[in-house]
Structure 1
Amino acid sequence: MEKPLPQAQTNQDVQQYELNGTVTDMQGSPLAGVTIRIKDTRRGTLSDTDGTYSIEVSPVDILIFSYMGFKKVEIPLNGRENVNVRMEEDIMSLEGVEVNAGYYTVRDRERTGNIKRVTSKDIEMQPVVNPLQALQGRMAGVEVVQANSIPGSATTIQIRGRNSLRTEGNLPLYIIDGVPINSSPITAGGILSLTGVDPLNTLNLSNIESIEVLKDADATAIYGSRGANGVILITTKKGKEGKTSMNINMYSGVGKVSSTIKMLDTEQYLEMRKEAFANDGATPTSSSAPDLVLWDQGRYTDWQKELLGGSAFITDLQASVSGGNANTSFLFGGAYHKEGTVFPGDFGYQKITGNFNLNHTSSDKKFRVILSTNYGIDKNKQFNDAIFVQNTILLAPNAPSLTDENGNLNWENSTWENPLGSLRRTQDITSNNFVTNAVLSYQLFPGFSLKTNFGYTNLNSEQVMKNPLSSYDPAFPWVNSTNLRTTKRQSWIIEPQAVYSKEIGRGNLEALLGATFQKSTANILSMSGSDFADDSLLGNLAAAADSGISTQEDIEYAYTAVFGRIGYNWKRKYFLNLTGRRDGSSRFGPNKRFANFGAIGGAWIFSEEPYIRRSIPFLSFGKLRGSFGTTGSDQIADYGYYDTYAPTNAGGLYPTQLVNPDYSWEVNKKFEGAVELGFIQDRFLFSASWYRNRSSNQLVGYSLPAMTGFTSIQANLPATVQNTGWELEMTTTNIQSTDFSWRTSFNITFPKNKLVEFQNIEQSSYANTYRVGESLYSAILYQSIGVNPETGLYEVLDVNEDGRFDFNDRIVIKDLGRKYYGGLNNRINYKSFGLEFLVEFAKQLGRNQFSMFGTPGRLAENQPTEIMDRWTQEGDIANTQMFSQSFTGNTAYTRTTGSNLAIGDASFIRLKTLSLSYQIPSAYISMVGFNTCKIYFHAQNLFTLTNYSGLDPQSSRLGSAQFFPALRTFTGGIQLTF
């Protein structure tokens, strides 16, 4: 139905007729709420939820299509009765795009803070479990590392570097629709113990509208003590006005290991082993060398292909229904995701999610309510072996077969550890996560509103680990066992707010005043049992001969705050933003419970100045902005300031923690300066940001002498960590025509991390970990001399020549932090075809194969082919020491693993994503009732260019083969609306 705009004027042309059409984006998805206006009149209409519209026109009219975040389109009708329009996303123009700043929204053009945004188009079709994985390479200053590609494993994200000496003190604040989420990974066992389980896994990726990352003080100070490490805002989709429509998206595909290590074949392996015995002057026996004496010398198995070379099948189904009228709109959706693994056995991950959104506005537009609910259940079945991948790579190529002729596990007379035994030791993790939020607002009078945000979260996770007798060698007296762990997290939050807006002079004033009341509880219970009568009883502790509670924690966390913001712009050219927050946290003692944080941000759109327009006519947009302020962190354990006691077996008590009521918040002082430029009607956009963050008053465990009976006490240490860097971003419209468009976006970050100050570090527990003036990512190492031509063994430099090798001899410092990183994205559209690809890159050092393998020549441990360039006789100049399994050889090799020889280039360029899509013309699908139909193909991690010798350069900082590399995945799907 035609919807006349205010003050509609009647077209006097008598040749009126009804024009119909559809409005979509460049990918063919329908756009609802697009304004369609007849040029030079006030007559117009809006597109419905499915993108369709109808309007009374005359043959000579010109239609103007406009929509926030998209480029305006003008089309002369020339008598046409049907006009379908594809609108192009106006990422080049900052005028209409609004970004979520948390407690308020701001036009991208007018923001004073550093806020970066990705939309649903960048997220929903990627075959990933966690939404953070979709951010890799897409944002400057945001480093996302998927150290372990096991489905459900937690992803590491750092915003502008590492601020805290404590690893657990660097988590950003996650907020879903205004509700803060405990982002710390859930502790898990087995292969998931390396990273933990991410609580964000249960989100429905197809329901995410956008993810905003807040980085500088202006953007994060309003979150006070929780904004030190940045803020990640996840906004879910909302219902829109229009007739009821359904959207369905389905895809399936397969994943394979993206990289392997080239290992010795049987002939090379046996040569290495025999040479090791010869070098050591020893004789192989059935106990010292079953691989040489008992095992088949002609047998060869590529164990990486055998145990890691399977196919991980992926299936995903998403569906949503939305609609409504001018007062009430709704959206209901759900999704199912199933993903296998490449390992032998019935392992995999699956989740079911549901979401609901309801928007209601009263007829007088004064009262509004928004309700959002997200619920997800996931189940993850994996094996209970943290180093299975590493053990697989180390298996001798002539190791025995996995099973005997009867299909039972083959232990080859107890001469090896059958890797299938590890796969029979399983863990099942089931989690359900409920997040709901309600926002009520009422406009008391024009410009002044009261608003209240109510939020609630409830996460429950249960883990069952089973170690059956059948997984062990029956020749030994093993006992079966089970471990149970439950984690429960609940929280509620109430945030009343008052919002005021008023034009003052030629400017506009916006003010916000609010308060936060939040309470969280966490309950952790770990139990174990052993010696079950039968493996089928595992998991039932009542059937265990021996059982007990190993961990029980009940934690409460209370948080309260008042916050405010004042923003003023003059002529939409000069902008000032003041934010402040006073926080109170139960994690600190009564003396230090409250603290103040705040920031000031400003911007000048100098391209609005008449003299700039005249002197630089090709400059379409120019802005200078800057900010300074403080944020904080209370990411420490609860009750750390108390004296705590535990019961003794005799009925008494003994102290377990010393009191310290005076430690207080970490403080992060942030400064940023930036310039944003647009040229040639914003066809070329460029921004450069320089930042400096200094985190002081570090909350760490202060070492105590052993005579106190305690190893440490929680305290603030006089240490300051600094992160500085440049962030450069560029977006260009290379080609833009009716049928063809090509856009490129590029980002690169040059970060620098440094421990600026740490008084008396020599007396702290960090003396052997950090060095003042160096990066927190630094490895402090011996100086390698290489292989001694006379002894054939690795040597490192004895700096003080005292005959001992200790920390005083570690004089080489290698920064394992990234020198630079970024991404290059291209989006190309030709008529109904779409092509998009993202290239991710990083310049960095990493730990090489020395951290993955033992001394070349050891029993049943295979090696990479590079070790064949080894020392064999006196005088040889070689890269690898002689083959040996002696104590002397092992000592020399182990010492070298702590030297600069164990660090190598881990830089990489990776084709992260590749997508190809085709939008079927509406003429072919309308007859079957579809509004749009798109088919697509998506590839992930297609190839990686790198000199890194390990499995994946992403995890090279961690430097262990136990971290499973990213999978190369191929998926195909279809998206329908009707």
Structure 2
Amino acid sequence: MKLTSLAGFSCWCPIYIALILFSLPVRTHAFPSAFNLQQYVSGTVMDESGLPLPGVNIVIKDRGAGTMSDENGKYTIAVQDTDILIFSFVGFKTEEIPVKGQTSINVQLEEDVTTLNEVTVNAGYYTVRERERTGNISRVTSEELELQPVVNPLQALQGRMPGVSITQNSNIPGASGTIRIRGRNSLRSEGNLPLYIIDGVPVNSSPITSSGGLLSISEGIYPLNTLNLSNIESIEVLKDADATAIYGSRGANGVILITTKKGREGKTDFNLGMYSGAGRISKKLKLLNTPQYLEMRREAFINSGETPTESNAPDLLLWDPDRHTDWQEELLGHTAFITDIQASVSGGNAQTSFLFGGGYHREDMVFPGDFGYQKITGNFNLNHTSANQKFQTTLSVNYGIDNHKSFNDGLFIQKAILLPPHAPSLYHADGTLNWENGTWTNPLSYLKKSQEVDTDNLVTNAVLSYQLAKGLTVKSNLGYTNLHSEELTKNPKSSNNPASESENSSQHRTTKRQSWIVEPQLTYTTTIGNGKLEALIGTTFQKSMTHVRSITGQGYAEESLIGNLAAVDEQNVLFQEDTEYAYTAIFGRIGYQWKRKYFLNLTGRRDGSSRFGPNNRFSNFGAIGGAWIFSEELFIKKKIPFLSFGKFRGSYGTTGSDQIADYGYYDTYRPTRGTGGLYPTGLANPDYSWEVNKKLEFAGELGFFNDRLMFTASWYRNRSSNQLVGYALPAITGFTSIQANLPATVENTGWELELFSRLFQTDDFTWNTSLNISFPKNTLVAFPDIDNSSYANTYKVGASLNSVLLYQSLGVNPETGLYEVADTNTDGRYDFEDRTVVKDLGQKYFGGVQNTIRYKNLSLDFFMEFVGQDGRNTLALFRPPGRNMENQLPGVLNRWTQPGDQAYMQQYSITSTANMAYERAAGSDMAISDASFLRLKTISLSYRIPSVYTEKIGLNDCKIYLHGQNLWTITRYKGPDPQSAPAGSLSYLPPLRTITAGVQLHF
């Protein structure tokens, strides 16, 4: 299914609006009694800070007559002595005041934090109300995260935020994913990581590299796996300059703020949550059966004029032609069981509150054998306020340990798909592995090469604050992180064919990351005229230490000793690196709002990073943001009464990036193995400087019918220049690259649209729907002299960084039966000069639709994710049919067999000429096709047991639920998973279709 429009949704919009209008209350009017004397009441309406509130509705109860406060919050209204005045304003609690002979009534309205537009969002160094923010900040809450049976927070965010693209290519538990906030800014893939901050503490988000095996296919291990998903209160993503510039050089790729749950005042509560379920891969490929496979292989030999032998075709001469095994079911079709238990205790009084929690999560894998992922987490939070309310302190500790148990073969999934359907049985009758006289590699042998990774991770934060005077507060943010990962890979001799010579060996990899941060800050808040001023100034001192070491051990006498380096014959240090990173900054913010209608936000930061040479170590970044809530203007209130909220906002500013290796401006050396010498590994370049990202945004927000229908549209343009890259060098220099700046400019533009509607809202029945969709565009707008650089064959000016350069396919030649591509320059050769077709494999659009339906105590939630994109099709995923002992899709049956045939697939062949023709076609536009999809990402059915029953057994609340994940996907893509289609590999595990059932108890 190709998603090209929202017509299906838009056609219902008139009906939705009609229903909303129909459900609005009808106001009736009563005429005053002739015997009641009329008088006038006047006054001023203010907020809690004493600022006047313009546009407040003042209505006489049961009569409907009314007026509105003016620009200065003042009003005058004709009343009777027995009347009651109702003061109402969006974002504030409604007040009712009897007249009782009064001629002057001044009112101070209290803010209503439960109102949709009065949600407070975390902006990093400060908080801001949703309706008043000038920057672009997306937010999801714990309710959207905690029921999902996933390991890391990234998986839970897929499709839920506009402008935030999350791709999970391999669905191995704990494997790293890719997140892009408003596109790709850097030419280097590792230069596009966002900044992660947990409770005010920056965390290194780069994946933990694996020495090989299954985890290496997914780019490593996600370092935040040990974070307890049920302990997350909210996740905010900062996108534009106004929101990110205060983070300076670390905000170019966006900022992800993770806020954990805090203790609250009240009696001691105990919460317990449990769920359990099972998952299986959501899609298996339909492949050739045994007769079809044998026909393909025999025809390939005939077309090539070759004779099958026992050495080049044991599948044709030695294996049982009557066997058939569904290897995907055999090797990838097992059930992965999931168990999750979470518990927390919280309570306290007005001065001190606490929260203590812990959790356990276990998730199996779909492969045969004892493989899986498990983690144990613990978290603690303590809040204290002095009796005079001047001193406050908060302590948060998050600790987790996890274990990945897999195997040392990253291509196992691909091999399970490609195995011939009549391949030999896995075991002999006595239970030993069957090697079929050395004619194949038993796939279970890969599983005997175990890979185990143990990680423990600590993130702790303390905030101390003291009010020096009214509106003036000094505080300090203190943070510490410590991550320690140990990987052990065992390669026993028994995992190899007994006929071959091998020995027991092991690989060991250690990763340690430590960091501390200290951020003293001073904040000031005051009232100036009809406005409110907020000021912030602070400094940052941060230091990070990283240690990585890789060792091999060979020659263990017994398999039981593998892993004990004291028992090896030979031990080699393959790699060891110790680095330090120092960072300092001074930052500030000035925010001013006037009459709650006009908002100005100025942020700035001066950064210093040890990753640059002394001449370029410091740089400045800043932004300006503004907003106008035009719905607060009196003429709007009078002319458009159904418009409950309207705001225009915009921002412009600069952020930067220092995501490069440490010590890049030095000449670097490494020790030679065993001789005590040194050899150079890097050339010095003290002159390279910061990448700069200039961000521009305009947005509008509208609310209708008392915010029952909300719409937001944002347009952005980000330009990243002065690109930091490893500039490629000729091999004659002895070095592969040197760190440098390139005069390339990358531009990301796009639209982000959000729609929220409360379709129905009664005491017994509610139905809320939200939709978000993003239309991103990435372009390399400038790269002077690119044709003479090492990037000439990778990127093209005017095209996306996600593009690939391809041959133009001419299909199958009817006479030769082989694929052909265009020799564009007619020089008789096929090289990059002939790759003239540019295909963008980036997302054309992406988003999601959330529906929440509640009837009394029964709730139904379902979320659908959609993506529009192109990807590498099966021509690029598979190798030439018939050439190797590999199975194929049934589509290869439509092949060329004789001159004059018009076929999609070239002739079966084992020749190098046919192989070269196929490889060219796999590098042509023929290998790219539509990979758009619509996926039912989550669906949950829950029931809250009525309190009349729970109170009898001592429960405050009890909810039971059934949850489904990845239940179905609609797509035209023929590969395993359309989400991983742009990457193009058979080694990625498709997402699991998972069903879980759980209960949440509150004592």
TM over 0.5: yes
Could you tell me which residue of structure 2 aligns to residue 193 of structure 1?
A: 216
Alignment correspondent of 2:841 = 816
Q: Within 5 Å, give how 1:358-373 maps onto structure 2.
A: 358-373=382-397
**In structure 2, C-alpha distance between the alignment counterparts of 1:570 and 1:198, rounded to whole Å:** 44
Quick one: which amino acid aligns to residue 716 of structure 1? N
8 Å CA contact 1:178–1:453 kept in 2: the answer is yes
Match of 1:111 in 2: 133
- Aligned residue for 1:81? none
For 1:763, which of 777, 788, 808 is the aligned residue? 788
Aligned match for 1:798, one of 802, 814, 823: 823
Q: Please, which of 200, 205, 214 is the counterpart of residue 178 of structure 1? A: 200
Matched, 1:266 2:290: yes
Corresponding position: 1:143 with 2:165:
yes
Any conservation in 2 of the 1:92–1:683 contact (CA below 8 Å)?
no
Whole-Å separation in 1 of the counterparts to 2:818 and 2:92: 66
Match of 2:77 in 1: none
Q: Which amino acid aligns with 1:937?
A: L
Q: Which residues of 2 match residues 647-662 of structure 1 at below 5 A?
A: 647-648=671-672, 652-662=677-687
**Which one of 833, 841, 853 corresponds to residue 878 of structure 2?**
853
**2:268 is aligned with 1:244:** yes
2:916 is aligned with 1:867:
no
Q: Amino acid of the residue matched to residue 660 of structure 2? A: I
d(CA) in 2 for partners of 1:653, 1:286? 51
| Residue 504 of structure 1, aligned match among 528, 539, 555 | 528
Q: Say whether 1:283 aligns with 2:313.
A: no
The Cα offsets for residues 239-293 of structure 1, whole Å up to 9 and x where unpaired, read as 0000001000000000100011110000110110111111111111111111110
- Deviation beyond 3 Å, 4+ runs, structure 1: 68-74, 90-95, 646-654
Partner of 2:186: 164
1:369-412 per-residue CA deviation (whole Å, 9 max, x = no partner) reads: 00000000001100110010001100000000001101111000
By how many angstroms is 1:709 displaced? 2.5
How far the C-alpha of 1:710 sits from its partner, in A, is 2.1
Amino acid at match of 1:828: I
**Which one-letter code corresponds to 1:117 in the other structure?**
R
AA aligned to 1:198 is: Y
Within the candidate set 587, 601, 604, 1:563 is matched to 587
Distance (Å, rounded) in 1 between the aligned partners of 2:618 and 2:738: 21
Please state how far the C-alpha of 1:175 moved relative to its aligned partner: 0.2
> What do the CA deviations read for 1:53-87 (whole angstroms, capped 9, x no partner)?
xxxxxxxxx9x9x9x9999999xxxxxxxxxxxxx
Q: Distance in 2 between matches of 1:813 and 1:940?
A: 36
Q: 1:306 aligns with which of 314, 330, 334?
A: 330
Q: CA deviation at 1:91?
A: 11
Q: Deviation per CA, 1:663-688: give whole Å up to 9, x if none.
A: 01110000000000001111100000
Match of 2:512 in 1: 488
C-alpha distance in structure 2 between counterparts of 1:110 and 1:406, whole Å: 73
Secondary structure of the residue aligned to 1:965 is: coil
Q: CA deviation at 1:973?
A: 0.2
The 2-side partners of 1:921 and 1:430 are apart by: 43
- Distance in structure 1 (CA, Å) of the matches to 2:117 and 2:541: 35
After TM superposition, list the pairs within 5 Å mapping 1:818-857 onto structure 2.
818-857=843-882
Q: Does 1:350 align with 2:374?
A: yes
Match of 1:666 among 669, 686, 691: 691
The residue aligned with 1:457 is: 481
Aligned residues: 901
Change (3 A) 1:70 1:602: closer
Is residue 607 of structure 2 the alignment partner of residue 583 of structure 1?
yes
How far apart in 2 are the matches of 1:333 and 1:713?
48
Match of 1:906 in 2: 931
- CA-to-partner distance for each residue in 1:453-493, whole Å, 9 max, x for gaps? 00000000000000111111001112221000010000000
CA offsets 1:497-555 (integer angstroms, 9 cap, x no match): 00000000000000000000000000011100112111111101221112111111101
Paired position in structure 2 for 1:525: 549
Asked if 1:597 corresponds to 2:621, the answer is yes
Equivalence map 1:25-36=2 (5 Å): none
- Who is 1:619 aligned against? 643
Which one is further off, 808-817 or 279-288?
Answer: 279-288
1:643-662 alpha-carbon deviations (Å, 9 max, x no partner): 12334576554432111111
Give me the whole-angstrom Cα distance separating, in 2, the residues matched to 1:619 and 1:947.
42
SS at match of 2:302: helix
Mapped pair 1:97 → 2:119: yes
Confirm or deny that 1:539 pairs with 2:574.
no
Deviations 1:723-749 (CA, angstroms, capped at 9, x unpaired): 000000000010111100000000000
Equivalent residue runs for 1:185-224 within 5 Å: 185-187=207-209, 188-195=211-218, 196-224=220-248
Partner residue of 2:630 out of 606, 617, 620: 606
Residue of structure 1 aligned with 2:468, choices 439, 444, 460:
444
Which string of whole-angstrom CA distances, capped at 9 and with x for unpartnered residues, describes residues 297-353 of structure 1? 000001001100000000000000000000000000000000001100000000000
Correspondent of 1:469 among 475, 490, 493: 493
Asked if the contact 1:597/1:631 (under 8 Å) is kept, the reply is yes
Aligned equivalents of 1:847, 1:479: Cα separation in 2: 39
Partner of 2:255: 231
Among 725, 732, 737, the residue aligned to 1:700: 725
TM-score (norm 1): 0.91
Q: 1:851 offset after TM fit, Å?
A: 2.4
Once residues 897 and 618 of structure 1 are traced to their aligned partners in structure 2, the CA distance between those partners, rounded to angstroms, is 57
2:316 aligned to which of 273, 292, 296: 292
Q: Secondary structure at the match of 2:151?
A: coil
SS across alignment from 1:286: coil
Q: 1:926: which partner in 2? A: 951
Residue in 2 aligned with 1:59?
none
Q: Which secondary structure does the structure 2 equivalent of 1:202 belong to?
A: coil
Superposed displacement of residue 419, structure 1: 0.4
Distance (whole Å) between structure 2 residues aligned to residue 370 and residue 653 of structure 1: 49
1:707 Cα shift?
3.4
Residue 647 and residue 976 in structure 1: after superposition, are their counterparts in 2 closer, same or farther (change >3 A)?
Answer: closer
Counterpart among 262, 268, 280 of residue 256 in structure 1: 280
Counterpart position of 1:335 = 359
Q: Helix, strand or coil for the counterpart of 1:826?
A: strand
Aligned equivalents of 1:409 and 1:652: distance in 2? 46
Deviations 1:83-108 (A, max 9, x none): xxxxxxx9995432100000000000
Deviation at 1:617, TM superposition (A): 1.3
Q: Which residue of 2 aligns with 1:127?
A: 149
- Which residue number in structure 2 is paired with residue 514 of structure 1? 538
Task: Give the secondary structure class of the aligned counterpart of 1:789.
Answer: coil
Question: Distance between the aligned counterparts of 2:553 and 2:205, measured in 1?
Answer: 30
Please tell me the root mean square deviation across aligned C-alpha atoms, in Å: 1.8
Q: Structure 1 residue aligned with 2:764, among 739, 761, 772?
A: 739
1:182-211: CA deviation from partner (whole Å, max 9, x where unpaired): 000001521100220001100011100000
Q: Percent identity?
A: 68
Give the distance between the partners of 1:324 and 1:70, measured in 2 at CA: 28
Mapped to 2, the partners of 1:208 and 1:896 lie a distance apart of 48
Amino acid at match of 1:314: I
Residue from 169, 172, 175 that aligns with 1:153:
175
